[in-house]
Structure 1
Amino acid sequence: MTSRLTEAVRESVAGVRSYVSYEGLVAEAGRRRRRAFVAAGVVLVLLLGVVVAPWLPGWRDESGPVGTAVEAAGDLSLPDRAGTPQWGGWSVQRRPLGAASMIFTAENWWYEPPSMGTVAVVSAGTDDYRRFSSNWAVRAGEDALLSGDGNLVATPEQLTDLRTGKTYRLPAIGGAEDTFPVAWSRDGGRLAVVGLDGRYVRQRNGDEVYTLTRAVLAVWELATKRITTVIGIDARTVFHGWLAAFSPDGRFLAYQSGRTVAVVAVGGAVRSQFTVPEDTQLAGKGAWTPDGRGLTLVTQRRCCTGDAYPARWQLRMVDPSTGAGLVTTPFAEQPGLVALRLLGWAPDGAAVVARYHPRTDAEVARYYPRADGEVVGFGVRDGITYGGWTEYRTDVVALTGNGLRVLLTGTGEQVHGVDIADDVIASGRTHPGKLPPDGMGPEYRMYLKIAGLVLVAVLLIIGILPISLIIYLRRSRRRPVRTA
């Protein structure tokens, strides 16, 4: 009887809620306070990151259209100098620029991150600087091309809208691996592109060099997204910057394959073709004369005794229908240059050209894919303007029959490649360029501010927890111990 009664009492007691001591209640309250402090810290971090950070300058993406070149500046003109873009300066994606007067590239702006693949953009009218990155080591004017109105930049596989900061992918051409831009139409409605395939080929000296094996030229209509394949061209003579040029009205495209220059209608019909001498190329994107009646070629002359860099360059005009030379006033021959590229024409008829200067101790660029020995000229490995022999000092001048006038120079030898909007060239005007400031740029400073705010919040949380623990321990020591 007694054992049964004891067992029943135990079962009844087991169902009764246990008594929570005063010390247990205090400990539970402390734990709740610490959880509340942590929750408050998390909320603080979220507030700083979500509410405060977006109000920092430049955090929000200003993606609305900014305007065309004409809207950006009623008096279009070219800055007469350009300098190193600020490390951490605003990107086009973060702060759209609107129309640009020019773009330029180099390879030695910053050591970390490297500037190869970074394109500097200078706004029309204000000389504000922006930058954007390409996945390729591009050279402005060769495989990074500014549209005639300054609104778009085409780079390998990519089209960047400077008004919105948005990027678009270039279309695939004929099943080729990569798509490179080669020329804009004056109105920016068409882009000539080339699809490229390649593989690594072992050279005579044992080196393995990536060599193009196929090239397909096409025209892309931006409004309709229509692709018109023009022709397969000689992959060995794809010289970016000297490959193709649209006529002023955009109806015809001149291109070069090997030693053959051809003029085709945008629809693909061949209008004419003719053979040019060795060491002669289309002069550049400005190869057509403003009236469309002449086509400009550039010839490299390998000479001359006494020259520090024995190569001279001469522009000459030919009839686009026959290739016959036109009777014009010859332009001044340019000595001691790695390369010469025609950008366009000033209102007074001067040829606006980019001049690539050699390093002081450089020899004439050489390559050796031909069996008859070394040659000099456009076919140099990695491109004729490769940095191994080209100084980071590319300037822009206007050539006349009597001489030249300098239009654009780089400060600190920071311009390797350059491209200028056609509308700016056509204005014929220059102005004193505004250089970017030194030091870390505003975009990186913004990131540092955000990181600092988050760090402060984390330190506050880390500091609150030990303080809460110290307070709890002190209260525990002061509390009298209860005896039974």
Structure 2
Amino acid sequence: MVELDLGGGRGVTAEPSIPREVGSPGLLTTPVGWSPPGPASVLFSDGSGRLAVIGLGVDEYRVLHGYPADPGRTAVLSPDGSQIALSVDEGVEIVDLVAGDGRTIDAESLDSDVLVPEAWLPDGSLILMAKSYAEDPMTEGIVHRLGVLNAENGLFEEFASATYVISSPGFAVAVSPDGTQVAYQYESRVTIYNRLAEAKTVFDLPPQSVLAGKGAWSPDGSRIVIASINPQRDREWSLTFLDPVTGLETADSESLSLRGAALIRLIGWNSQTQKPIVVAYDAPHAPTWDLAREISTTVTPEQISRVSIYELNYQGAGPTAIMQMLGDVDGVDVASVAIDSGNFRAGGPPHQVTPIGSALLGLLVLIVSIIGIVWARWGTA
């Protein structure tokens, strides 16, 4: 892959690629609605309540204001990077990064109180979790439904419903590479739903384990992946391969591990190396499992001190850092098309407007305003 310099340290590749450096967008970064960037490689949040995207093959940054969502968990980038589905008060907002506009799926239209985007299907359909609160909490439970919002006809096709606790966003659902199978987790139980046969297989996970994330299917779709924490070693994580039919560990399951993170989330596989890529959350004060000795996947943005992305290596070798976060990045998602490509570019974070720069800019605006007022009064005198 040849990298071209566009000036100012920015790079562009002819194909989808992952930037190795990501930084907080500057104060004057253009909003998506003003200048749509087209498909994005990365969606991230910068700790100030803003979401930002980076172009699929070029380091063009755009921001979205007013969306306090968590990238990769309550804000998910479509596989081709052209759309973002994110939780809002009314339900789910779908932002088109090509057109620069959006549409809202109202929770009430699906007879629910809360909607959360869980995963995209290859055809652009969206899997939603619809939560309905109990009218009488003393006799009824909260209902969590899963269904596909069909991209062609807009219908919600429900495939699961239970009052059991569903796994946290970002971990609850994983779609096979061909889109025909969906793995989802309620409490400690995983169900494999075959969309073609409309058949289901159910099995229990080992203790301290969770469906690993949106990338929790092997590239060939023959195995699923769970993330487990070592109860004897705090913050030591491992990935394990399971047979989706039996739920048992496969004979060829290889050792993949990462130490030091409060939480990891599998987001995809490098097609060139066949190695998994994970997001690691560094949150020193967040528990890695709760009082019930179950894994905690509820690390909040306020607890996160750093987010990193690694490619995990086999046979006990240490992980390889593939993306460096500059600034206060506390959440990230990467488009599957960029991950699958196995291509990387240097990355060109925008020039930052520092606090001093912001103050000077504000002072300049104030001076210009005063001059304008004085000039207007002088002109009418």
Please give the range of the TM-score, normalised by the shorter of the 2 chains.
0.7 to 0.9
Other structure's SS at 2:216 match? coil
Matching residue of 2:249:
325
Q: Which deviations, in whole Å up to 9, do the C-alpha atoms of 1:345-399 show, x marking residues without a partner? A: 112210111111233xx363465xxxxxx245544xxx522245432x1111111
Amino acid at match of 2:117: P
SS at match of 2:215: coil
Q: What is the aligned partner in structure 1 of residue 314 from structure 2?
A: 401
Match in the other structure for 1:337: 261
- Counterpart-to-counterpart distance in 2, 1:447 and 1:224: 49
Contact 1:300 1:377 in 2 (8 A): no
**AA aligned opposite 2:298:** I
Query: Are the counterparts in 2 of residues 80 and 409 from structure 1 also a CA contact under 8 Å?
Result: yes
Query: Is it true that 1:169 corresponds to 2:169 in the alignment?
Result: no
Q: 1:396-429: CA deviations, max 9, x gaps?
A: 11112132221112124x2221111111111112
Q: How far apart, CA to CA, are the structure 1 residues paired with 2:119 and 2:299?
A: 18
- Once the 2 structures are TM-superposed, how far is the Cα of residue 261 of structure 1 from its aligned partner? 0.8
After superposition, give the CA deviation of every residue in 1:99-134 in whole Å (9 maximum; x if it has no partner): 111111242xxxxxxx22x21111122111111134
Cα–Cα, structure 1 residues 390 and 458, in superposed 2: closer, same or farther, change >3 Å? Answer: closer
**Maintained 8 Å contact 2:256/2:312:** yes
Structure 1 residues 165 and 281: CA distance shift in structure 2, 3 A: same
2:329 corresponds to 1:415: yes
- SS of 1:290's equivalent in the other structure is coil
The corresponding residue for 2:300 is 386
| Displacement after TM superposition at 1:463 (Å) | 2.4
> Equivalent residue for 1:219?
148
1:105 aligns with 2:45: yes
Question: Are positions 1:130 and 2:34 aligned together?
Answer: no
1:234-278 Cα shifts (integer Å, max 9, x gaps): 453331110001111112211111121112234792331111122
Does the CA contact (< 8 Å) of 1:174 and 1:216 recur in 2? no
Structure number with bigger Rg: 1
| SS of residue matched to 2:165 | helix
Instruction: Return the match for 2:209 from 254, 269, 280.
Output: 280
Counting only pairs closer than 5 Å after superposition, residues 21-420 of structure 1 correspond to structure 2 as 73-107=13-47, 115-116=48-49, 118-135=50-67, 137-156=68-87, 157-172=92-107, 174-185=110-121, 187-198=122-133, 213-234=142-163, 236-266=165-195, 269-304=198-233, 310-347=234-271, 348-359=273-284, 362=285, 364-365=287-288, 367=290, 374-379=291-296, 384-391=298-305, 393-402=306-315, 403=317, 404-412=319-327, 414-420=328-334
Q: Do 1:96 and 1:162's aligned partners in 2 also have CA atoms closer than 8 Å?
A: yes
For 2:247, the aligned partner's letter is: G
Aligned CA distance change for structure 1 residues 270 and 357 (closer, same or farther; 3 Å) = same
Distance 2:164 2:46 in 1: 26
Contact conserved, 1:331 with 1:399, CA < 8 A, in 2?
A: no
- Residue type of the partner of 2:252? T
Shift of 1:342: 0.6
When residues 219 and 452 of structure 1 are mapped into structure 2, their CA distance, relative to the original with a 3 A threshold, is farther
Q: Does the residue aligned with 1:423 lie in a helix, a strand or coil? A: helix
Kept in 2, the 8 Å contact 1:134–1:155? The answer is no
SS of equivalent residue, structure 1 residue 397: strand
Aligned pairs, how many?
355
> Which segments of 5 or more consecutive residues in structure 1 lack a partner in the other structure?
1-71, 108-114, 200-211, 305-309, 368-373, 467-484
- TM-score norm. by structure 2 comes to 0.84
What is the identity, as a one-letter code, of the residue corresponding to 2:337? D
Q: Name the % identity.
A: 24
**Alpha-carbon distance between aligned partners in 1 of 2:151 and 2:71, rounded to the nearest angstrom:** 21
Counterpart residue type for residue 263 of structure 1: I
